[in-house]
Amino acid sequence: MAQDNLLIVLHFMLLWGSVILGLVAGLLLPISNLISIPLGVILWALGFFYNFHLIQTRRPYNLHRPTAGQKSYERIVARTLMNLGIAFGFRSWLTIITAVILILLYAWVARRKKEYLDFRRERNIADAFPDRSRRH
């Protein structure tokens, strides 16, 4: 989906932009590099492997299942761990703030997707997009 690609680009720009801006502005956490770098790597790796585990164990989507569209926010937790790992690795206050903003963005996108899937499950897709339905 085009929205997913846009979200990935927005995530990348916000996260790495905040790292660069934080380093240039000197807004760094008062932590030693000996602590922040290993902590950042550990947090990022935990988030990465948790996200990888969630992707590997997800069930196939079934529109007619009663719980279709009802997913937990586990992937948001995994991405947040990765974002915080980057924030602590580079010791950036701005990246921590960006990680919180991205949590809100991810939750909003997940809620919108859930609403769409619930709507699609309950009604005909032609009701949602009447301009895309074929007329006979």
Q: Is position 19 within any domain? A: no
pLDDT in tens, 5-61: 787 888 889 889 999 998 998 888 888 989 999 999 999 999 999 989 988 887 765
The answer to whether residue 103 sits within a structural domain is: yes
Q: What are the pLDDT digits (tens) for 114-133? A: 777 777 766 655 555 555 55
Residue 5 lies inside a defined structural domain of this protein: no
Token output for 35: 């602590």
For 70-123, write each residue's pLDDT tens digit. 456 788 889 899 999 999 999 989 999 999 998 888 888 888 877 777 777 666
| 108 in a structural domain | yes
Residue 80 lies in a domain: yes
**Residue-wise burial string across 64-73, b where 16 or more C-beta atoms lie within 10 A, e elsewhere:** eeeeebebee
Which residue range(s) make up the domain with 102?
36-60+69-121
| Per-residue confidence band for 68, with pLDDT thresholds at 50, 70 and 90 | very low
106 lies in some domain: yes
Q: Is there a domain that residue 17 lies in? A: no
Q: For residue 24, is it within any domain?
A: no
Those residues whose C-beta lies under 8 Å from the C-beta of residue 16, and which sit 6 or more positions away, are none
Letter for the amino acid at 128?
A
Count of domains in the chain? 1
